[in-house]
Amino acid sequence: MTEIPEHLRKRAEAAKAKAQGAAGGGDAPAGDAPAAASGDEKIPSHLLDRGTAAGDQPAPAAGGPAAPTGGSGPDGHNQRLLTVVKSGSIQDTKATPQDKVHVWPHLLLAEFLAALAVTLFTLLFSIFVNAPLLELADFNKTPNPSKAPWYFLGLQELLTMFHPMVAGVTIPGIGLFVLILAPYIDKNPSKRPEDRKFAISLMTVHLMFWAVLVMIGSFFRGPGFNFIFPWNSGLFFEL
């Protein structure tokens, strides 16, 4: 059974003594005066009048129906309200913070502005920077070394180390599959870098692996795609 708090019990006793004093024509005992004065709130007078009126109802006649009473409860017991408690004092409800926003306009607007900025930069770069095309390809004259574009030099470098099936399908496929599974393995919702060590480590290893292969194919491969040192044999790389 829940124990009634001390301040509520004192307040109820003071209200009861006051009601009895009013019904008997006398004053409440002096010892209960401090209890009646304690607390920030008082019991409303209409609630006290309702409880007093319910207590003064006459008893029903023998064998007759019970007279309806406003404050009568089960088995003829009178129910009295001890106090009126504000909901905020016993219920501390805190809403769960939501960090989710709608795709439109929050995300799409930012992406649209970023696309405009990149398009403007590309347009200005193409106006002020001269980037001529090379001469037409001659099938009778193959350049040596024949290198793929820089973004494919990593695959070309792998072809010098492994079988074409392993270098062109297996290794890139495993890398892409691991990157696809990364969001399901690391479900940490935090945006702080120190809390996302797994995701940052995985992406760092992926980028460093590919960057090293591209740099080797760009600057350390000469005629015949043989390994050279650019400070000794020159640079065999064109954008």
Domain holding 157: CATH number? 1.10.287
Same domain, 77 and 154: no
Note the pLDDT of residue 34. 46
Q: Could you tell me the two tokens for 236?
A: 């065999």
List Cβ neighbours of 5 (8 Å cut-off, separation of 6 or more).
none
Residue 239 is assigned to a structural domain of this protein = no
Peptide bond into 230 cis (omega under 30): no
Residue 97 is assigned to a structural domain of this protein = no
Residue 90 is assigned to a structural domain of this protein = no
Distance CA(58)–CA(55), nearest Å, equals: 9
The 3-state secondary structure of the chain, one letter per residue: CCCCCHHHHHHHHHHHHHHHHHHHCCCCCHHHHHHHHCCCCCCCHHHHHHHHHHHCCCCCCCCCCCCCCCCECHHHCECCCCCCCCHHHHCCCCCCCCCCCCHHHHHHHHHHHHHHHHHHHHHHHHHHCCCCCCCCCCCCCCCCCCCCCHHHHHHHHHHCCCCHHHHHHHHHHHHHHHHHHHHHHCCCCCCCHHHCHHHHHHHHHHHHHHHHHHHHHHHCECHHHCECCHHHHCCCCCC
Is pTM beyond 0.85 here?
no
Note the pLDDT of residue 2. 58
Same domain, 44 and 124: no
Residue range 181-219, pLDDT digits in tens: 888 888 888 888 888 888 889 889 999 999 999 999 999
Same domain, 153 and 194: yes
Determine contact, residues 154/217, Cβ cutoff 8 Å. Answer: yes
Same domain, 79 and 20: yes
Residue 215 is assigned to a structural domain of this protein = yes
Query: How far is CA 48 from each of CA 19, 79, 104, rounded to the nearest angstrom?
Result: 7, 11, 57
Mean pLDDT of 106-118: 93
> How deeply is 156 buried, as exposed, middle or buried, from its count of CB atoms within 10 A (0-12, 13-18, 19+)?
buried
Residue 126 is assigned to a structural domain of this protein = yes
Residue range 32-89, pLDDT digits in tens: 444 444 444 566 777 667 666 555 555 555 555 554 544 455 555 555 655 666 655 5
Residue range 133-184, pLDDT digits in tens: 778 888 888 888 888 888 899 999 999 999 999 999 999 999 899 888 888 8
Same domain, 138 and 212: yes
Same domain, 161 and 207: yes
Note the pLDDT of residue 110. 92
Same domain, 127 and 200: no
Residue 64 is assigned to a structural domain of this protein = no
The alpha carbon of residue 118 and the mean position of all alpha carbons in its chain are separated, in whole angstroms, by 30
Residue type, 92: D
Q: Could you tell me the two tokens for 27?
A: 């004053």
Same domain, 127 and 147: no
Same domain, 165 and 197: yes
Q: Above pLDDT 70, what percent of the chain?
A: 67
Distance CA(215)–CA(153), nearest Å, equals: 8
Q: State the total domains in the chain.
A: 3
Note the pLDDT of residue 80. 60
- Give the domain extent around 150: 134-233
Residue 92 is assigned to a structural domain of this protein = no
